[in-house]
Every structure is written in C-alpha cells, then in structure tokens.
Amino acid sequence: MSVETNSLTVAKRRSVGIGIDFGTSNSAAAIFDGTDLHMVDLEMTETIMPSANYIDRDYIGYTGQEAIDIYIESNQGRKVEMSLEVLGEARTSTGEMNHVTELPNTAETNTIYGQAFNDAGLPGRLFRGTKRLLGSATTQRIMVFQKPFRLVALITPILLRIRKTISRKLMDLALDSEAAQAACLGHPVNFEGRDSDHNNIALNRLSEAYAYAGIRKQSYYPEPTAATQSYLYANPSDTRNLILTVDFGGGTLDFSVLKRRESEFDVIGIHGVALGGDHIDQCLFRSIFFRSWGKASVGDALLRATK
C-alpha cells in the first residue's frame, strides 16, 4: 500500500461530527474532523442557505436561493388574476309547498365566499418558514394547487439537499461520505404551537423528514446551548464563568445560561418563546405596507364585483 493511500485510509477513519441547523429562515451545516471545524457551503459560495422550497404547477421542486430566484423570475410581469374562494352555497328557503297557490316555493340559493383570495395565474408556490407549522397538530397538510402535501414532504427536499451537500464536502476533505448519515441536529427550546404536546409533534415530524433525507442516526440539541458551545470553542481565552446566549431567529426567541467549570460546563437554564423575526415582519406588513398598498380598497372592490 502506498503512503498516499494509507494516509487517505487514516483520514477516512478519523472521528467525524456533523452539525445541522435547519432554521425557520435560513439553514447551515458544519463538519468537525476531530481537529478542525469546516463550514459547509450549502449555496455555491455561501454557507447560509434560505430554508425555502418552491413547487411549480408541474410539481417540480427547487430549494434554497434557487427556489426564491425562480419564484421572483416567474412572477415578473405576469397578469395577476384574483378571485374569491368559493366555499359552497346556502339555501335561503325550504322549497316546501305554498298552501295558498299550491305551488312549490322557490328555493333560492346564494354562493358563500371565503375570506381568502386565489391567484388563478400563480405559476408556483414558494414555501418559507414551514418549520413554524411543525408543532401544530391541526395542520397536517397544505394544498399545493390540486394536491395535498404533508408538512414532512415540504421540508424533506431542503434537508435532502443539505445532506447531499455535506456528503460532497466530506469527500472533498477525504473523509467517509457515509458519515453524513449521522448528525447532531439543532432545535428551538419551544416550537410554535398551541397543543400541549407541540414540541413532541414537531420533533417527530423533523425526525421523519431527516430520515427520508438519509440522516437516520439523529441526536437533537437545543439551539441556544449549541450556540454557546460554538462561542466557547471559538473563544478559548474567554474565562467568564456565566454566559448568557440569546438566539433570536425567524420563528422563535431562545435563551440559555451556562456555567463554566474549567473545560466543562453546566446548563443553568434554557427557555424559549414562539416569537421571531417572521412575526415582526408580518406585523409591519399588516400595519404599514398593506394599508399603503391599498389593502382595504382592493378587498372592497373584489367583494362588490361578486355581488
């Protein structure tokens, strides 16, 4: 066996650790080869990838920045055809016999419209922030044109892309690409959801999606605690005993307090609330931008047109 081949074999046998942060807005991944930490370029030249999934009318999917770019490009200059969602019809009379004329009464019906507006010319659906729905027991499927998609099916393509990119990075580092089948996975302290069991619901869905993506050996870790460990690794000269970490993400706000004991640490406490950047963005759009763009006038015009 040559020296070069022997070195490659030794490199492949080195202990490898994989870390994945599947976020509400963006995702990231890293590889620890036992000595050095390597960030994975999930995009062409960027380590950060938008947690986005785009599905067109032919049910062809795209992920990451490509999903956002295709969504923007396909909607530029197109005609928007808005229509009210028809829920059904309501009967306003019984249609029973009139005792005076001995003829049947007219059974009048009126169409019932929903509050949502449909864009008939929409070329595709862009999904961002799907992670926020994982803890909701009532949200099982989302309609994509004429087909219902499980939440797991909507996030699996994103996780699959991350796993494949990690595998390619492992090969570039002369490491075993099969190491990507096991990973340490970050999660918020508390997922969004009103159900008492929303955290378990979300983790079960995440586990299923990661398994479909090829990551079958899963180890979950609270995101703020993982962030603190990352800071301690990158700043070994920081000798403070107590460290507070604030993780303000797109869907949640998490906190952790760690106490250092030389090379080890104790987790004093962690907490999280379902409040993030996406929620603040939505409030700004509803209270400022939508009104400036004529939200009330457009809605009233559509309602008048259906009468």
CATH number for the domain that contains residue 177: 3.30.420.40
Assess whether 111 and 137 both reside in one domain.
no
Which residues fall within 8 angstroms of residue 240, CB to CB, at 6 or more apart? Answer: 260
Of the residues 222, 240, 267, the one at which a domain ends: 222
Burial class from Cβ neighbours inside 10 Å (0-12, 13-18, 19+) for residue 281 reads: middle
Which residues fall within 8 angstroms of residue 44, CB to CB, at 6 or more apart? Answer: none
Assess whether 210 and 134 both reside in one domain.
yes
Q: Is 52 helix (H, G, I), strand (E, B) or coil?
A: strand
Of the residues 222, 256, 286, the one at which a domain ends: 222
Assess whether 172 and 206 both reside in one domain.
yes
The answer as to whether 288 is a domain residue is no
Assess whether 175 and 208 both reside in one domain.
yes
Rounded (10°) CA dihedral 198, 202, 58, 302: 30
Assess whether 27 and 53 both reside in one domain.
yes
Assess whether 36 and 127 both reside in one domain.
yes
Which residues fall within 8 angstroms of residue 88, CB to CB, at 6 or more apart? Answer: 111, 112
Q: For the chain, which residues score pLDDT lower than 50?
A: 1-13, 94-95, 101, 113, 302
Give the whole-angstrom CA distance, residue 271 versus residue 254.
Answer: 6
**How many domains would you assign to the chain?**
2
Assess whether 129 and 46 both reside in one domain.
yes
The answer as to whether 157 is a domain residue is yes
> What range does the domain containing 113 cover?
81-120
The answer as to whether 238 is a domain residue is no
Beta strands in the chain, from DSSP E residues, in sequence order = 17-22, 26-32, 37-39, 49-50, 52-56, 61-63, 82-91, 109-119, 124-128, 141-144, 147-150, 182-187, 217-222, 242-248, 253-261, 264-273
The phi-psi region of residue 240 (left if phi > 0; otherwise alpha if psi is between -120 and 50; otherwise beta) is beta
* Helix residue spans in 91-197 (DSSP H): 151-172
Give the pLDDT confidence score for residue 8 in this predicted structure. 40
Assess whether 20 and 113 both reside in one domain.
no
Assess whether 213 and 85 both reside in one domain.
no
CA distances from 159 to 30, 37, 181, 205, 293 (A): 14, 21, 12, 12, 36
Quote the pTM value. 0.77
The answer as to whether 206 is a domain residue is yes
Assess whether 154 and 214 both reside in one domain.
yes
Of the residues 207, 222, 237, the one at which a domain ends: 222
The answer as to whether 142 is a domain residue is yes
The answer as to whether 289 is a domain residue is no
How many CB atoms lie under 10 A from the CB of residue 207?
A: 16
Rounded (10°) CA dihedral 131, 135, 136, 137: 130
The answer as to whether 53 is a domain residue is yes
The answer as to whether 259 is a domain residue is no
Assess whether 125 and 190 both reside in one domain.
yes
Closest Cα to residue 179, out of 40, 1, 63?
40
Assess whether 193 and 99 both reside in one domain.
no
Structure tokens at 212: 């479909």
